[in-house]
Amino acid sequence: MNKFAMANENDIINGSSTDVYFDKTKEYLAKLNINPHVAMEVTSSSSSYGYINFTGLNDVISLFENKNINLYAIPEGTIIKPRDDDGMPVPFIRIEGNYPDFAEFETPLLGFICQASGVSSYSSIIKKILGNVPFISFGIRRMHPAISAMIDRSSYIGGASGVSGVLSAKILGIKPSGTMPHALSLILGDDQAWKIQYENSDFRVFLIDTYMDEKFAAIKAAEEFPDIDYIRLDTPSSRRGNFPNIVREIRWELNIRNHKNIKIMVSGGIKIEDLNELVNAGVESFGIGTSISSAKPVDFGMDIVNINGEDKTKRGKFSGVKNVLRCDQCYKVKTVLRNINEEKCTCGGTMKNIMEKYIENGMVIKNENLSTIRQRSLNEINNILNL
């Protein structure tokens, strides 16, 4: 019995975290002595974000390792629309094998990529808007702790400059990013809290809105500690009024006192629609939590497209095993049958297949590291993502 209401690693790997109808289907096929070889594809008919930053493949690879299947996928960190330029659904993952060997893993597979891709896609929009203005993923306290590392990993792939989670950072191989909580100021008082933060941190960020008006607290902090990096505003909504104007006021007061070196960071309920005005007001860093961690999942589905060599699928889907071509110059995307790996694009460039093989007969033959995935994502945010 699990101590917490969550699936553990063994529950996921052995298929216990599935939907019951997959177990029933396997039972029925066994009774009938039917063991069909199938190809299944993962597609999404639409996305709330226009584009999908495909994320979560790392967990899918771990899930299917040592299972007798072949797995193909678009590389993680690829940013692509759910439908190609002709309106055809784009397959993100393809699995080939005997259906009873992997039927029950459809549920966790979709769970791995739906939520992770939603978080990374939302983060990618933030990154596109902010450009070189950094933001830190602060959202794990709003979600179940069992998925904290997934949230932080996905936001980091999507463009976050850092993550607050201690375990997440350890898993990702990066240093956790954080400032100071209100609790420290409440217990010690602002002066002592700022002092100990100043003396013990190599990234000096003072939270200034625990007790005082933001402008006067910013001036006080700057005059007492003129070489700090940031002051942070986490002003509650009931006190914000016109938040961008508060930021402008603080920026002005710091500047005329020769504290242009001290930057302003904001956090607390920040959403995509807030970003441009806050940057224009003078914000130079963000802590973004709930809007990232609660990003709408991508609605992926998984469907059989071929059974024992015969192309067939359900109503509303497209049968046949497919590849995904993308132009190396204009980035046009085209879904084609799997026997097509390359063709000329109308722009004059070359459209090449971006589906890659990750598992062959249960053996992992390709598994990229986080830095490679994140760099791909950052390049694609810059070159492909259009808002």
Reported as a single tens digit per residue, the pLDDT across 116-133 is 999 999 999 999 999 999
Residues 188 and 109 in one domain: no
Compute the CA torsion angle 230, 276, 290, 208 (nearest 10 deg).
Answer: 30
User: What pLDDT score does 45 carry?
Assistant: 83
For a pLDDT cut of 70, what percent of the chain falls above it?
A: 100
What's the average model confidence in pLDDT over 244-269?
Answer: 96
* pTM for this prediction: 0.95
Confidence band of 329 (pLDDT split at 50, 70, 90): very high
C-alpha span between 81 and 324 (Å, rounded): 12
The answer to the question of residue 204 being in a domain is yes
For 318, the token pair is 């497209």
DSSP 8-state assignment for residue 201 = -
For 313, the token pair is 């699928």
Burial pattern 59-83, b for ≥16 Cβ within 10 A else e, equals: bbbebbbebebbbbbbbbbbbbbbb
The string of pLDDT tens digits covering residues 335-382 is: 999 999 999 999 999 999 999 999 999 999 999 999 999 999 999 999
- Is the predicted pLDDT of residue 236 greater than 80, yes or no? no
User: What pLDDT score does 91 carry?
Assistant: 98
The answer to the question of residue 131 being in a domain is no
- Do 57 and 76 contact (CB within 8 A), yes or no? yes
C-alpha span between 39 and 305 (Å, rounded): 6
Residues 186 and 261 in one domain: yes
Residues 104 and 44 in one domain: yes
Residues 278 and 313 in one domain: no
Structural domain of 345: 35-117+297-376
Tell which of 235, 254, 284 closes a domain: 284
Residues 277 and 339 in one domain: no
Tell which of 222, 257, 284 closes a domain: 284
- Do 322 and 336 contact (CB within 8 A), yes or no? yes
Domain total of the chain: 2
